[in-house]
Every structure is written in structure tokens, then in C-alpha cells.
Structure 1
């Protein structure tokens, strides 16, 4: 015998209320719907289950025999399955997997780790940097929860995105660099020794495309795959590097460097969080995205800077 679980809820509601109309109200269904459900139950069990008496709908011996186990089954479903889809950060364990470039890790990880330690102490963080094609697959199959950063390729009906804040690019030099003005001239930019970071970030590609379109050449003396070596090299040379303002500000504060404007206009670019539509309603990721937006949205950008340079 196969039963719709909702029929069992009708059985329990009638047993609790001893009244068909009251049971319908308890379940937020119409009285005819509750009556039809009772008819199906009677047919399935081959028993009237309830009989009308002056004191209400009185259960038959068959109902008395099954009502306890029925309650246990429904309670288990409500507790372990229905309630189980909710996300309780204080009790949850496991791992959040983010796609970030190295520069995004600079921006997000210090504050994110501290926040999760307080609000979801059992959760771990994992960061990956897949190729663009693998990023799409990773978000789709759930191996990656969120992509944080500048990912202009993740634009399709399969992906959601939410803007966090805007980035701008600046030049970074040592504090007593010969370039004294607040902004490099085009001549200074071309003559300078440049440190270029190829860390896979799309902002680097955007800058390269902009320079190529304007036929602006750089005298590149050092190319590296990460930013870790950039501040000490800048501090001991007259080289310059172009970096997002948030990270450049952190370098300047910690290593005694100075920020200069670029000699040409570079459009700001938005840092966003991206996720696959398949997980749009996943309570675990709804909670995570809400936290990311709260901690790293525009209104908290100054706080973020203080965290980075503390």
C-alpha cells in the first residue's frame, strides 16, 4: 500500500481535533479536501478509521493501532528532512569553496575568515583558481560555491551575480620615488620600469587590452605570477606597478609606498559574487551570499580598508 504523506497528516489532524472541519482548518485546506482525503484513507486501510459520535470523530481500533507510529514517521520527516534543509551556521560543519584570484584573496580572506570564525565556527574555507571553462563547470556541479572578483565571462541565464563594490587601478611606487606628482605623465609611464603581475585576474587582461588599444608600451623589467614580491621590490627600486586601489592601499600602508594616478582614464570595474542558478535557493549558500554582501558591500568598504592595513 502506497500513501501520500499528506493523507497521514489528515489522519493525525482528525485524531487531534476529533472534527473534520477543525482538522481542515489546522491543515489550511478546505473541508471538502479534508473529507476527500479521509475517504482515500478509508479506502487504503479498508477501515472507517473514524466514526461520528456525540463526542466527535471517534477513532476506530485500527486508527488507535497506527496513530502512534504515524506521528513518529511525520515527526522524523519534519525534523530530519524538512527542517534539515535549513542552514544553522553555529552548528554547521563542512567547507565553503570559493574561486578567487590571488589578489581577491588579499581583499577578502582576512575579514572573511575572522567573520566565519565567529558566525560559523565549524565551517572551513577552500580557495581555488580554475581556468574560465572549469570555473563554469565547478559552479554548475557545486564543487565551487561562489566566485568572488571580476569575472566578466560569467554572464548568462545560468549564472546570478551581485555587485559588491567598484575597483579602480592605480600606480604604486616607493615613497621617495623621483616621480613627485600625484599622477604619472604619459612620458613617465612609458619610461618607467614596470613590474607586471600575471595572476590570471581579468583586471590584468582589461588593462592589457586598454594599453594595446592606445598603443601604449610598457618597459617591463619583471613579470611575476603573484603580488607577494611586488612591495619589497618597489620599496628598493624606482620601478612602478599597477594594482587595484584596495590592494595598493594595503601595500602603501605596510611597506611605505605611495599611490599615483595613471596618465590615462581607466574605467572602474565591479567586483561581484557569482553563483549558478541551480543553487540560488540553497539555504546554505543564501546565508553565505548574504554574509558576503553584508561584509563587503559598498557601505563597508572603509571598514574593509581598515581591516587590510591593520
Structure 2
């Protein structure tokens, strides 16, 4: 008996005949012709050297051999079908899984509250594990499965195995204290270059490009403080004459309840861009596709 001659389709035929006691019903459930079912039954009989099923007035009756192998065949087919069906279909309401995401607190302040509300309503059994975005290890962790996704705008894809999609773009604004000594109702170019700036330790590309523009104008801005946490930046601004530049969505998230105001940037700089990154090994996962679509819809 050579097990390599026994394929999964034959065992599916065996199950359907056993459970329905009918060749015609087995053919209907498997979307096959009755001659095809009869041909498969012949192959099963030849392989096992057993009648497998015999005709009776009540339909096809299993032999003792078939009764003996049915439980194991049923279990094996179920074990194979479960991950296959889960791969093709995904129900967030019934999903009980962990999704691991790396994001900076800079972006997390805007993204995570929206995501938390959505998951609590539509995927209550999904556990979201959020870790700080480390640009030095993110590629490795996505490839190894330690991370499912990374959200950011600070790194380019150097690994051909990583995919990305744009989550959103945003304009920058300048945040100023309501009690600022001389910036009141507008923010001019001169106000910007003469002000004292507090900045995020690793500034985004758009703000860095603003320095290149100032250099072309033979101007510079004065940076007096570099802070690793965006929440601290706006609180510092609230109590001083410092100003800071933040994307509009993030500024809105951090500035709620603070005595600060926002002004449009006094000159043109590139938009703030945030991308979602994942590894190619999870690209076809139904669960991952759902999460990617969910994030984009929330933006």
C-alpha cells in the first residue's frame, strides 16, 4: 500500500459518500459528476482492497473497514481545512488573535485612539500589541514575525521583502502659546526665523526640508531644545515663547486642552507622509489584509 497514491480528493469523496450514503448527493456536495464519483470510489476500492461501500435499500452502506477509518479521515480533513479556510476568509468579530504594531508616540497619538475605538466595536477579541518604532530593527522584526506591521515616515524600504502603502498625508502647522509675547494673530516668515524652536529629536522630512529652504534664503532658525516626546513639546510651547512645527492631525491630538494656537506654515514645505509597512510573507493573509484596509479606512 503506497500512501503517495492516495490524494486528498479521494478522501473527500470517501467522506461525502460515508456521511450522505449516496453517490448522487456526494457528487452534488463536491460539485462533481456522478461518473466522477463512481470512478473515485473504484480507485478507493482498488487502493484499500475493500468494497468500502455496498449498495442497500437504504443507500450506500459502509463496510467495517470504512467504519474503522472514518473518524481518523474526518479529523485529518478537518485539520487541513481549518487553516486553509481561515487563510481565505476572515471574520473580525470572531477573530481571537494578537496583532503586533510598531509606531512612534508621535504618530500613535493620532492613530491609536481611532484604532482602539474601531477594534472595541468590530473586533473585540483582537489584542493589539503596540511597541515603539525602532528604525534600526524594524526590517528584521517584520521579516521574523516579531512584528506584523510598522507605521511611520522616517525610514525607506531597504529590504526587497517589505511592502508599503501610504496611510495619509498632512500639512504642517506651527504651534504657539496663547501667551506668546509677540506672535498673536498671524505668523510671518520673520516671526518664524527669529523665534526660538523646540523640535522633535528626529524631525520629519518636511521640517528638515524647511531648513534647506531657509539656507537658500540665507536664513536659519534657532533651535533651543530637542525633545524625544511630542507630548512634551506642546506643553513646553504652552509655557514659553518657543514655537514648534507639527503635522496638523498630530498637533490637534496633542494640543487638546492646552492654551496654544496653530498657524499655517509661513512658507511652502513638503507634506508630512505616513506609511504602513509589512513583510511579503503576510501579504496574502486575510487577517493582515483586513487590518491594512481598516487602518486606511480610519485615516
TM-score normalised over the length of structure 1: 0.79
One of 117, 129, 133 as aligned partner of 2:133: 129
What CA distance in whole angstroms lies between the structure 2 residues aligned with 1:166 and 1:24? 54
Instruction: Please say if residues 206 and 269 of structure 2, whose CA atoms lie closer than 8 Å, have aligned partners that are also in contact.
Output: no
Contact 1:106 1:247 in 2 (8 A): yes
Q: Distance in 1 between matches of 2:145 and 2:71?
A: 40
Cα deviation 1:286-309 (Å, max 9, x = unaligned): 332233233x22xxxxxxxxxxxx
CA contact (8 A) 1:172 1:248 kept: yes
Contact 2:143 2:279 in 1 (8 A): yes
Which residue matches 1:37?
Answer: 40
SS of 1:96's equivalent?
Answer: strand
Name the structure 2 match of 1:173.
176
Alpha-carbon RMSD across the aligned residues, in angstroms, is: 3.0
Shift of 1:173: 0.7
- Equivalent pairs counted in the alignment come to 290
Equivalent in the alignment of 1:301 = none
Which of 184, 188, 191 is the equivalent residue of 1:188?
A: 191
Q: TM-score, normalised by structure 2?
A: 0.82
Partner deviation per Cα, 1:141-199 (whole Å, 9 max, x = no partner): 221111223256138763333333321111111114212343322x222211111111x
- How far the C-alpha of 1:110 sits from its partner, in A, is 2.4
- Partners of 1:211 and 1:228 in 2: how far apart? 23
What secondary structure sits across from 2:241 in the alignment?
A: coil
Alignment of 1:250-265 (within 5 A): 250-265=253-268
Which structure 2 residues correspond to residues 76-155 of structure 1 after superposition, within 5 A? Answer: 77-78=80-81, 80-82=82-84, 85=87, 89-90=92-93, 92-118=95-121, 119-121=123-125, 123-132=127-136, 134-151=137-154, 153-154=156-157
Give 1:50 deviation, angstroms: 3.2
Secondary structure of the corresponding residue to residue 229 of structure 1: helix
Deviation at 1:278, TM superposition (A): 1.4
- What's the CA shift for 1:103? 0.7
Greater Cα shift, 240-249 or 148-157? 148-157
Describe the shift of the 1:12–1:266 C-alpha distance in structure 2 as closer, same or farther (beyond 3 A).
same
Match of 1:283 among 269, 283, 286: 286
CA contact (8 A) 1:171 1:242 kept: yes
1:247 and 2:253 matched: no
Counterpart residue number, 1:197? 200
> Which runs of 5 or more residues in structure 1 are unaligned?
298-310
Cα deviation, residue 104, structure 1: 0.7
Distance of 1:6 and 1:154 partners within structure 2:
43
Extract unaligned runs of 5+ from structure 2. Answer: none
Confirm or deny: 8 A CA contact 2:18 2:62 kept in the other structure: yes
- 8 Å CA contact 1:7–1:37 kept in 2: the answer is yes
Match of 1:14 among 6, 13, 17: 17
Q: Deviations over 1:249-307 (max 9, x none)?
A: 2344321111122222012233232222211222332332233233x22xxxxxxxxxx
Aligned to 2:163: 160
Q: 1:27 aligns with which of 23, 26, 30?
A: 30
Could you tell me how far 1:214 is from its partner in structure 2? 4.2
